[in-house]
Structure 1
Amino acid sequence: MVLDAFRARLGSIIGGFDAAQSHRRLRGFRASRAHVNTLIAASGETITARARWLARNNGYAANAVDAFANHVVGDGIKPSSRIADATRKEDLQKLWLAWTDEADAEGLTDFYGVQRRAAREVFLAGEVFLRIRTRRPEDRLTVPMQLQMLPSEMLPLDLNRALPGAGSIRQGIEFDGIGRRVAYHFLRRHPGDSTDPGLSGETVRVPASEVIHILDPVEAGQLRGVSRFAAAIVKLFTLDLYDDAELERKKTAAMFAMFITSPAPETALDPAEEDLEVEPGQVVRLDPGEDVTTPATPDSGSTYEPFQYRTLLQIGAALGVPYGYLTGDTARGNFSNTRIALVDFRRRISAFQHSVMVYQLCRAVWTRWMDMAVLSGAIDLPGYARDRRAHLACDWLPTRWDWIDPAKDAAAEILQIEAGLKSRSQAISERGYDAEQVDREIAAERKREAELGLDFRRPGSPAKGVGQTAAGEEPADRPEGTDAEDDEGREPRPAEEG
């Protein structure tokens, strides 16, 4: 405190940066100097609990989570091995595809579904854990390995202690003397799951080699993740309360159709004999002295929608999700503005795909899966132990995003390929497919078409080459002015006139 006061006094004397002053505008601005690990240890569980509550009960929050996960994963971030041998590569890709259906230890989804669940958890809780479970041969899996997802609550934030030697446990993660992650101390049961009969509070040590920790760190030295909702929870919750208040006010106002004022009765507490019900076109006769009035209820007027719109824009900015994806409102904004917002959003998603999902999740799973596939004999890769790095080389292909007008995008892509600005392999990879596999499929289709005398090519595509025809077809008549000798490399002769 003394040091902070000295710094404040020195800053007021020296000046230079208004942001560091304590004048009238910033007098109440007390920013914590605590490291992010301290802040997460103090508030992480509360933030995660509130984020999960909003995702369950608030439509905007649920929409934001789904929009993020769907764009990050889509149909799946899929591998394309770089093994040069085409036959071995094809066998490897088939083995991987067969294993993806067995990847989830809970048996609820495939590997790409695990990716989507992981993306949801990172958005909601800031992190998620995948435990690699090695299986026995009698389990009859394609490759004896599965993935078990563990939510962030399974790793206690308050587990901190020094270990014999130079090691330590910080926020449930065990480190060695030079700061490497050695193990994770997970709870045996979820602290909030009362249906699990396991011992509450008991932990189990799992080696770090068996755990994949997925998080998107925002500060250097950060150990645990923080929810994407951290900057939006206050506005989301208070906007929800405001909407509820508006609905209640409207409902209450709608309950009162009219009030009838009568002269003071002899007994003030006597109830009316019957209530007056009003029907369309009805003529109502009142007793002498009675008067009918309708309630004048306050209305939100023209400020309600602009206020909601601006608040939702702030929430969308805090979550990193465009307004349209957050609300489902497609009426606001023109095409150009919407496209600009989507381009920015997709750049963010692309950065998250490659720096978090691919680097932390996909690469780790692929490496362990390849080792298990070779060791179990599921696939034969000669020289794997000698040149493991080359065999592990792999490209991860996210699902391609489609625009509103795919015809124009496809035409632009064709022009780029024809101009040499990109290759077909690059264009196919950007769509989330393996170029060699696509080429093999196209070649097989062309062969089948030729055998059946079919041709589904785009008009003008030179797929069959000069002089080639489909099986069973006769060569087309030659244009006038040419003869058979032209095919032997001689200059064509112009047709004789007359």
Structure 2
Amino acid sequence: MAFDYVRQLLTAVTGGFDAAQGHRRLRGFRASRAHVNTLIAGAGATITARARWLARNNGYAANAVESFASNVVGDGIKPSSRIEDAALKEEVQSLWLAWTDEADAEGVTDFYGLQRRAAREVYLTGEVFLRIRSRRPEDGLTVPLQLQMLPSEMLPLDLNRELPGAGSIRQGIEFDGIGRRVAYHFLRRHPGDMTEPGLAGETVRVPAEDVIHVLDPSEAGQLRGVSRFTPAIVKLFTLDLYDDAELERKKTAAMFAMFITSPAPETPLEPAEEDLEVEPGQVVRLDPGEDVSTPATPDSGSTYEPFQYRTLLQISAALGIPYGYLTNDTAKGNFSNTRISLVDFRRRISAWQHGVLVYQMCRAVWTRWMDLSVLSGALDIPDYDQNRRAYLACDWLPTKWDWVDPMKDASAEILQIEAGLKSRTQALSERGYDAEQVDREIAAERDREQALGLDFRRPGSPAQGPSETGSEDQNEETETDDKRSPEEKA
């Protein structure tokens, strides 16, 4: 009786939610109650393989990956140290700029290229790893530090076991007794790379302080990443098959095929000795009783483009990419609608920049780079140990996005600065530049222009300041006013 009462009570409670019912409409909707880590362990490798296949073979998928990476990184998310000493700050920035060309352990790109590759990998496979490699002084680097990028396949999803004590390994990540990441157990060789002999299946333990794990978890407690393509893979693949079928239909329709029928062939089981080929202007004579017919191939019809458009809208929503960025189709939508979608897209990108790439990758690299710069003697900061937090303070400046009408945006920004709604420092930071560096460059240019007798500033602009002529006119008016009598002044 008690069990029946509890069951009736639970039924009454869940009955208030239509989404929890098992009626006709939801009879086939059986959602898994497994944790995301269990789902990724079972399906992660397949999803990653399919996402990579689409990025290699599907134009829409390739365009989505490149659009995301280019919008997240652009020319690079660059650091601006907050060190108060101007000379020391300039020295730090110059040393960083020189090191960025040496950052990649493979030597194929610079640090900002690694940012772009990291954003691309996280979007495509859900995660990426950067191994921090400390180098020797004899390697001749500006700062003895390089970064080695490792794809998600290098950390096995099926490596799970208990360790002596209170530790454990879960999906290739080693944890201590209180859940802190201690190490990563990477494969020595990519499981799908057959060009490297030996080392198959062997793993190496890398301390967690030497690994940067970049991922954007979608659920609490998630250990490994999952591809952004996950909700779009089925529609992308089936749409690709549908487009191929339509292309083959058009190809068949473009061919001039003929069928010759005879009412009573003498040898119906034997093929014709020669195929009949038709040339332009040719007169073909057929045997008595033979007839020629051509196949009727149906056209794609007027529903092809609307169907494809609606399907691509669903795919763009699943991928988090605006329709125009996904398809390069600029004919759909007006200027206002396009701008609204771009504002929302760029707000998402900005959150991803600072919440994922800057927080997980850029800050970790900057911290290790500053430490090794001081330890190696590349930077001379005597009180670094006592004020390490202050010296590590840094702002990361993404590349400014360009709009279709930059003149209006620039005019609006100038009005905001003149009205005191924002500072020049803020405006320059939003454009991806350091205000102090820009001011030094402007001052140096003005000194050079003055020495050469040049002035490229627009007349009347705030940068030009009050003109000497205007000051003289104001002085003359003041002197004339002083010479007037009190009655004339009144």
Give the TM-score category using the shorter length: over 0.9
Q: CA deviation at 1:464?
A: 5.1
Change (3 A) 1:336 1:477: closer
Matched, 1:186 2:192: no
SS of equivalent residue, structure 1 residue 232 = helix
Instruction: Map Cα deviations across residues 29-56 of structure 1 (whole Å, 9 max, x no partner).
Output: 1111111011111111111011011101
Matched, 1:271 2:272: yes
SS of equivalent residue, structure 1 residue 301 = coil
Aligned counterpart in structure 2 of residue 486 of structure 1, from 460, 476, 482 = 476
* Aligned partner letter, 1:428: L
Which range is displaced more, 104-113 or 160-169?
A: 160-169
- 8 A Cα contact 2:130 2:148, kept in partner: yes
CA distance in 2, matches of 1:491, 1:353: 60
CA distance in 1, matches of 2:13, 2:389: 59
CA distance in 2, matches of 1:403, 1:293: 58
Matched, 1:299 2:268: no
Change (3 A) 1:305 1:162: same
CA distance in 1, matches of 2:198, 2:273: 63
Change (3 A) 1:462 1:273: closer
Q: TM-score, normalised on structure 1?
A: 0.91
Change (3 A) 1:358 1:285: same
Q: CA deviation at 1:249?
A: 2.3
Corresponding residue for 1:350?
A: 350
- 8 A Cα contact 2:80 2:397, kept in partner: yes
* Aligned partner letter, 1:486: E
Q: CA deviation at 1:382?
A: 3.1
Corresponding residue for 2:196?
A: 196
Corresponding residue for 2:225?
A: 225
Q: CA deviation at 1:13?
A: 7.3
TM alignment of 1:98-113, pairs within 5 A: 98-113=98-113
SS of equivalent residue, structure 1 residue 380 = coil
Corresponding residue for 2:436?
A: 436
CA distance in 2, matches of 1:257, 1:278: 13
Residue identity over aligned pairs, in percent, reads 80
Corresponding residue for 2:398?
A: 398
SS of equivalent residue, structure 1 residue 128 = strand
Corresponding residue for 1:34?
A: 34
CA distance in 2, matches of 1:394, 1:346: 23
Matched, 1:413 2:396: no
Instruction: Map Cα deviations across residues 198-241 of structure 1 (whole Å, 9 max, x no partner).
Output: 31111111100000000000000111100001111111111111
Q: CA deviation at 1:299?
A: 2.0
Equivalent residues, number: 480
Q: TM-score, normalised on structure 2?
A: 0.93
Q: CA deviation at 1:93?
A: 0.2
* Aligned partner letter, 1:271: A
SS of equivalent residue, structure 2 residue 390 = helix
Corresponding residue for 1:148?
A: 148
CA distance in 2, matches of 1:223, 1:437: 41
- 8 A Cα contact 1:8 1:21, kept in partner: no
Change (3 A) 1:332 1:175: same
Matched, 1:212 2:202: no
SS of equivalent residue, structure 1 residue 157 = coil
* Aligned partner letter, 2:251: K
Corresponding residue for 1:241?
A: 241
Corresponding residue for 1:126?
A: 126
Gaps of 5+ in 2: none
Matched, 1:158 2:158: yes
CA distance in 2, matches of 1:306, 1:462: 52
CA distance in 1, matches of 2:479, 2:79: 47
Which range is displaced more, 447-456 or 247-256?
A: 247-256
- 8 A Cα contact 1:103 1:147, kept in partner: yes
Change (3 A) 1:379 1:343: same
CA distance in 2, matches of 1:295, 1:43: 46
- 8 A Cα contact 1:400 1:432, kept in partner: yes
Which range is displaced more, 269-278 or 404-413?
A: 269-278
- 8 A Cα contact 1:188 1:198, kept in partner: no
* Aligned partner letter, 2:37: N
CA distance in 1, matches of 2:275, 2:138: 79
Change (3 A) 1:493 1:46: farther
* Aligned partner letter, 1:363: R
Q: CA deviation at 1:273?
A: 5.2
- 8 A Cα contact 1:160 1:171, kept in partner: yes
Instruction: Map Cα deviations across residues 362-420 of structure 1 (whole Å, 9 max, x no partner).
Output: 00000000000011110112321101111100000000000011111111111111111
Q: CA deviation at 1:295?
A: 1.7
- 8 A Cα contact 2:187 2:201, kept in partner: yes
Corresponding residue for 2:72?
A: 72
SS of equivalent residue, structure 1 residue 228 = coil
SS of equivalent residue, structure 2 residue 457 = coil
CA RMSD, aligned part only? 2.4
Matched, 1:339 2:329: no
* Aligned partner letter, 1:291: D
* Aligned partner letter, 2:348: R
Q: CA deviation at 1:275?
A: 1.4
Change (3 A) 1:490 1:134: farther
